[in-house]
Amino acid sequence: MTEADSASKVVRNGDKNRYEVYYGGQLAGFSEYEERDDETVFIHTEIDDAFSGKGLGSTLAEQAIEDVIARGRVIRPLCPFIKAYLDKHPQYDEHVIGKGTTR
């Protein structure tokens, strides 16, 4: 278990269309998305510099992707960070437009 796993929490904030990662109870970063039909389109991710180096970006990406899949949606990664994460984790390919899912 990494430091980020034990001290962080990721939540989906539907009102703001983003997944948020909290570290020690403080908002440390987020990944914005848009919902289009059955697609969740990731458009922007950022982690506050004060929280860099803790693996929070990867924790945020993994849990956001897992939530999208659990909700039966497919992923369109326009955000470079989410796209790079997905490129390193081919186990998600069947849920990603342009990889295992074509449109």
* Angle in degrees, CA 83, 76, 97, rounded to 5: 100
Supply the pLDDT for residue 4.
59
Supply the pLDDT for residue 103.
76
pTM attached to this predicted model: 0.91
Supply the pLDDT for residue 28.
98
Supply the pLDDT for residue 102.
81
The CATH number for 3-95, chosen from 3.40.50.720, 3.40.225.10, 3.10.580.10, 3.40.630.30, is 3.40.630.30
DSSP result, 7-74 = HEEEEEETTTTEEEEEETTEEEEEEEEEEETTEEEEEEEEE-GGGTTSSHHHHHHHHHHHHHHHTT-E
Supply the pLDDT for residue 2.
55
Sketch the domain layout of the chain as residue ranges.
3-95
DSSP result, 57-76 = HHHHHHHHHHHHHHTT-EEE
Q: 19 pairs with which residues across the strands?
A: 12, 31
pLDDT in tens, the chain (103 residues): 555 556 899 999 999 999 999 999 999 999 999 999 999 999 999 999 999 999 999 999 999 999 999 999 999 999 999 999 999 999 999 999 999 888 7
